[in-house]
Structure formats: C-alpha cells, structure tokens
Amino acid sequence: MQCDNNQKILTTFLLVDIILTETIISSISQNAIDKNLSHANSAVGFSVAPMLDWTDKHCRYFHRKLSNQAWLYSEMVTTGALIYGNNLPRFLGHNDDEAPVVLQLGGSHSGELATCAKLGEEWGYSEINLNVGCPSDRVQNNMIGACLLGHPELVAENVAAMKAKVNIPVTVKTRIGIDDQEDFDILHNFVAGLVEADVDGVIIHARKAWLQGLSPKDNRDVPPLKYDWVHKIKQAFPNLDVAINGGITSHKQGLQHYQEYQGYPALDGVMLGRTAYEQPYILSEVDALYYGSQSQNFTREQVLQSMYPYIENHLKNGGKLSQVTRHMLGLFHGLPGGRMWRRHLSENAFKPTSGLEVVEQAYEMVSQEIQRMEDRV
C-alpha cells in the first residue's frame, strides 16, 4: 500500500512538473512569436546550423518537410570553389521549396566575397552568411573561419563589400573569441565593426575556438559556454538582430534565451545544429513554438511518405538512395524500432540497386515494433 501511495505521489509531482514546463514554454514561446513576425533574417527566429557534409540540398529538402518557417543553411562554400570550381550547380543548386535558405560563404577577400554573394542572390538564396566560426586548420590556412576573429577590420570590410553588392540580408556567424582572448571588449569591438558595416544580424556560438590544440569536434564541446556574453552583445547593440548557438539541445533550452538572462536582455533567435540533424522530428515543433503557426503538424509516417516522390525522382535522375536517406536516419529517434530503421538504411541504402523498397522495408520494421510494444502494454 505504501508503495502505491509513493507511486501516486511521484506521478502527481511528474504531472505538475510537466504542466509547469508546458506553461513556461507557452509563455516564452509567445515572446518568440512576437519577436519573429518580421522574419527579417536568420538571426531572428529559428535556424538549423550549417554543417559540413550534412546540410546539403537533400537534407534541407527533408527538413523543410518538417518546418515551413525554420531558416535552413547550406554547407559552407568557399569563394574559391565558386569562382574557380567551374561547377556552380554543384555548389549553389537547391530546391525552390527550401526557402528561406541561407548561403554560407567561407572567405576573406572582399571582392571575391562580393562576387559570390551576388551569385548566391542570383541563384535564389534568401540570405548570405559569412563564416567566422569554423576552427578547422584546413580553412585557417586560407584565412577562412574563426581565425578571422583576429582580423576584425577585414571582416567589417568583407561585410560592407557584400552589402554593397546584394539586396538580400548579410549576416555573420561567429564565435565569442579565439585562443587566449578572454576580454569581452574584444567581442564587443568585433561586433561594433560589423554594425558599422551595416550587418543585418549575427549568430553567435557562445564558445571560444581554439585554433591550435583542439580538433573541430573538441571545439564544439570543450571550450566553456558563455551565454551571458551573447546577451551582453544584445544589450550593447539593441537594434542588432542577435541569435545564439552552442550547447542547446531542446526547444525548452532555446526558448529560454527569449527571456532576460542574468539581467541582460532577451535575444532574437536560436540556432540548433547536431540535435536538429540527429533528432529531426524536433523541427516539427518549430512553426508553432517560434512563429505561432500550426501549419506543420505531420506524423513521422506522413513526413516519410511526403519524401517518397522526391526520393523516386532522385533515383530516376541517377542519384543514390543513401544520398537522401542518410539525412533521415534519426526520423524515428526514441521510438520503438528506431534503431532497426537506422540499421536497415545504413546497411542497405548505399547499394547500387537499392530503391524505395529499402525505405519501405525499414518503415515496416518500425511499424511492427511499435505494434509489438502496444500489444505488450
């Protein structure tokens, strides 16, 4: 009897916690919706971070099936690839349905960045973003990414050159500093230069980047998060659109930055990276939470079925099944059969003869496992 009473008490506390959490999220979400109605640029609202080898056009098409409103990013494309690669369709090709979609550029030569920004606009991108956050030593050697935090005047020149060339927003994604930079004033002065160059918004990863001694992977986790620095930037530049990135793994965490943080003002946007990619169904909540729209309320099965025509067309044009399905491995994350889904696609989609039947087989495994669990209950 005592055990039953304890269970009832525990259940009551859990229900109260859930209700309070939902109430808090609802309240904060309304703040987000009020801010995001302008939909001005990717520093306002919700965005999916640019991720090399991940956020290609197939990934973005899939993500757009989950959210109408989220800002989607290309992988970083270097100016050299666009100017000298002689393959613009490869680097700039995308589906019209992806909008709003951002082209992220890597480079540091103002003339080249301006030229590439114009190309992005002509190819239908909604915004141009300059990468000042990538810590990879592969790009440092070409003055690309986080190393540019050591050259604030040059970055400001880059932004001004792109702004003069295009009629779409120009934003910057950056870290809060590099290496031994411990002074907030360094970040403040860096952003001040961007504001002077008329940047439309900044997305700030709330960690430093160590250019030597840490791998790109470690740079995503090891440097400590300083969310207060991002909010302090908003305080210093109240008319600048400021979004936060880094260490955010849920909407509950993200939406908290639409409130004051340690006495500093609320931000304008939230960017998620690996969580959005590895657990893509989280994107199905974006339109309601951040934009007040209920337009996307599809089940996982409906999302999957909506991808079938795209997959069939891709295969018809000579593409490989795995080029699309590798981005869908996390669709059933956390559900019975989710691991079976991932395993079946991983082991079979890459085969030259694989077609839509591989996806259907994988989903049948999920359906059977869900039914088996329901029967047990």
DSSP 331-354: TTTTSTTHHHHHHHHHHHTTSTT-
Do the first three CATH levels of 22-291 and 300-376 match, i.e. the same topology? no
Residue 198 has pLDDT above 60, yes or no: yes
- pTM reported for the whole predicted model: 0.89
Residue 181 pLDDT grade (very low, low, confident, very high; cuts 50, 70, 90)? confident
pLDDT at residue number 142:
78
Q: Residue 56 has what DSSP assignment?
A: S
pLDDT at residue number 7:
41
Catalytic residue among 59, 116, 134, 147: 134
Tens digits of per-residue pLDDT, 97-144? Answer: 899 999 999 999 999 999 999 999 999 999 999 999 887 766 666 789
pLDDT at residue number 230:
98
Q: What are the domain boundaries of the chain?
A: 22-291, 300-376
pLDDT at residue number 1:
41
Q: Which residues contact 10 (CB under 8 A, 6 or more apart)?
A: none
Mean pLDDT across the stretch 28-55? 79
Q: Is there a contact between 147 and 140 (Cβ–Cβ < 8 Å)?
A: yes
CA 352 to chain centre: 31
Greatest Cα pair distance, the chain, in angstroms, is 77
- Which of 140-154, 211-225, 315-329 has the highest mean predicted lDDT (pLDDT)? 315-329
Residue 8 has pLDDT above 50, yes or no: no
Q: Give the fold, CATH level 3, of 300-376.
A: Four Helix Bundle (Hemerythrin (Met), subunit A) (1.20.120)
Q: Give the fold, CATH level 3, of 22-291.
A: TIM Barrel (3.20.20)
Please name which of 33, 43, 30 lies closest in space to residue 234, comparing C-alpha atoms: 43
pLDDT at residue number 13:
38
pLDDT at residue number 278:
97
Tokens of 350: 């890459």
Residue 31 pLDDT grade (very low, low, confident, very high; cuts 50, 70, 90)? low
Q: Can you say whether residue 355 is alpha, beta or left, with left for phi > 0 and alpha for psi between -120 and 50 degrees?
A: beta
Residue 26 pLDDT grade (very low, low, confident, very high; cuts 50, 70, 90)? low
Give the 3-state secondary structure of residue 199.
coil
pLDDT at residue number 66:
96
Q: Which residues contact 43 (CB under 8 A, 6 or more apart)?
A: 171, 200, 201, 202, 203, 241, 242, 243, 268, 269
Q: Is there a contact between 158 and 108 (Cβ–Cβ < 8 Å)?
A: yes
What separation in angstroms does the CA of 326 have from each of 59, 89, 247, 299?
A: 9, 21, 23, 20
59 flagged as catalytic: no
Residue 18 pLDDT grade (very low, low, confident, very high; cuts 50, 70, 90)? very low
Mean pLDDT across the stretch 31-47? 74
